[in-house]
Structure 1
Amino acid sequence: MPDLAGRLRLPLRQTQGLMRSVVALMGLDVLVPDFSTLSRRSKGMALPPTEPRLGSDGPITLVVDSTGLKLVGAGEWLETKHCAKSSRKRWRKLHLGLDLVSGEIVCSELTTDEIGDPTALPDLLDQIDGSVARFIADGAYDGIKTRDLLAARFGDHVNAVIPPPKNAAASPDAATHPTVRDRHIAEIAKQGRLAWQKSTGYNQRSRIETQMGRWNTVIGPKLQARGLDNQKTEARIGVLVLNTMTELGRPIFERTL
């Protein structure tokens, strides 16, 4: 019901009335919980673990990104009812990690808006049981801290595809012992950034941007819950909804004799 409320742009109380009307019209013997019960139980609610999807055996290609989710609160109420501008827009930051092959969201984290992408990355990686062969992210993740974290979690073999900034400088040992970042800087300087994106597969990062668009369309760009713990539960439910839709929409191939 929380995600139905977000999809219909209704508060939980109105969603409760709608669902009870639907149940009555269908003649079903189903109890619809009231909005206060949903609010209380959503805090710390344990959700079923996500089962691995077809095609996810072995190391995966992990693509990560983040987007902002608006909070429905007193700011919008003042603006709507009293034409008063709120002093500050309130946001939460949703961090998602996508398995490039299966299209499944394999890790997610909802944080306050001041948490940067590299800071949220350790909690995202903690949710991944298997190994990662390739990591694709935008320039916000560029830095030694991110690369050391990936090497510590998945080994030195992980291929981190992160675009260095335009003013990036190679390391002092680039001539004798170049790092992956040094090679990226050299390739961009030689062939151009667009050619580097194509050769490294960085263009595939558009898949996570598409997933963010699906989130805003299917789940909605706003959070209905008030407290951070309940908002995290709401976000986890949204992940399960999108993963279920992805699973239902992907073909399954079986060899026949």
Structure 2
Amino acid sequence: MPYKFSDGQRHKFRKPNYRVSNWPEYNESLRQRGDLTIWFDENLLSEWCAPASGRRGGRLVYSDLAIEICLSLRVLFGQPLRQTQGMVRSLLKLADLDLPVPDFSTLSRRGAGLSVCPLPRIASGPITLIVDSTGLRVTGQTGWLDQKHGDRKRRKTWRKLHISLDPESGEIVTSMLTTEHVGDPAALPDLLHMTDRHIACFIADGAYDGQPIHDVIKDHCGPDVEIIIPPPANAVCGSYAVRDAHIKAIRAKGRMAWQKQTGYGQRSRVEAQIGRYKTVIGDTLRARKMETQTTETVIATKILNRMTRLGRAEFQRVS
């Protein structure tokens, strides 16, 4: 980002001031995020119970929609499964709805591999896709054993969340959870295959620099896609045309001018989205198994997208 290359001279630049131009609408959207009714689907009564599958064996009692609603409340409020069961039971009682409530063991079992219904797409057309990743801790790890038995070598107990963001709508397009051993370039092909939108511009940091990643993006998005990936400081020309053009532009005008010309500064939005994820949802996964953790992150990104659709702040520079 630009501040990294001029950190020692930041005192010479006057910090711009912004104000929210749509404060009444944005203020109301913040209130609606605490409204419990928006997290219940409109088809609650008709789709709470699972339909007959027509196959032999026991019939499911609860539909995927019912399980998703319960797990969404759990992720949103950070509660254990037993407290989530009690919350849903009390909400249905207050709404005077005579519906069965899934118990905590059912929520835990059905959470693995749950098919989460995506939000309907608002607009169509080509988009700008910004990709980044972050680490999430696994719950249950404390320092009690270290204090009792001394320092010992721990196994890594964290996961890596890869997300792609559309800066125009502010929504997370796709998300994928992997182990800590999967690098960003290795996860990119699967992340792109999950995207059903036409990508006109791809933006990522220097971790995605390289000919193989460039070929993967071209194969998925087409030859006309604009790829904005900064080369390292010691990069030399001779690899491929797009990278060579970036190197020549940086040498001629400087890295900050290149970032302003190409729009690479938009990558800060995906970093802000990651910070928003850890502020609203948290930086710890509550589930224990990988399949359930994947469902937890998919539901979390859907919650953030629903909050975004309630209203976004529009900033206007005043000085």
- TM-score of the alignment, normalized to the shorter chain, above 0.5: yes
- Corresponding residue for residue 45 of structure 1: 114
**Letter matched to residue 49 of structure 1:** P
Q: Who is 1:254 aligned against?
A: none
Aligned to 1:212: 274
Judged with a 3 Å threshold, the aligned counterparts in structure 2 of structure 1 residues 145 and 194 are, in CA distance, closer, same or farther, namely: same
1:76 and 2:142 matched:
yes
Alpha-carbon deviation of 1:240? 1.2
Q: Residue 2 in 1 paired to residue 71 in 2?
A: yes
* Contact 1:63/1:98 (<8 A) preserved: yes
Query: SS of 2:238's equivalent?
Result: coil
1:126 aligns with 2:211: no
Is the 1:44–1:233 Cα contact (8 Å) retained in structure 2? Answer: yes
**Structure 2 CA distance for aligned equivalents of residues 220 and 3 of structure 1:** 14
The superposition leaves residues 69-96 of structure 1 with CA deviations (integer Å, 9 ceiling, x where unpaired) of: 11013x3284599687672341110000
Greater relative contact order (Cα 8 A, min sep 6): structure 1 or 2? Answer: 2
- Structure 2: give runs of 5+ residues left out of the alignment: 1-69, 314-319
Map 1:35-184 to 2 at 5 A: 35-54=104-123, 57-73=124-140, 75-76=141-142, 78=144, 87-171=154-238, 179-184=241-246
Mapped contact 1:64–1:96 kept (Cα < 8 A): yes
Runs of 4+ more than 4 Å apart: 21-28, 77-86
Higher gyration radius (CA): 2
CA 1:25–1:82 in 2, change beyond 3 Å: closer, same or farther?
farther
User: How far apart are the structure 2 equivalents of 1:26 and 1:7?
Assistant: 20
Partner of 1:29: 98
For residues 250 and 195 of structure 2, what CA distance do their matches in structure 1 show? 31
Identity over aligned pairs, percent? 51
**2:142 aligned counterpart, secondary structure:** helix
The alignment yields a C-alpha RMSD, in angstroms, of 2.5
Q: TM-score scaled to structure 2, two decimals?
A: 0.70
- How many aligned positions are there? 243
Q: Quote how far apart the aligned CAs of 1:165 are.
A: 0.7
What is the DSSP-based 3-state SS (H/G/I as helix, E as strand, rest coil) of the residue aligned with 2:165? strand
| Unpaired runs of at least 5, structure 1 | 173-177, 252-257
Give the aligned residue type for 1:16. Answer: Q
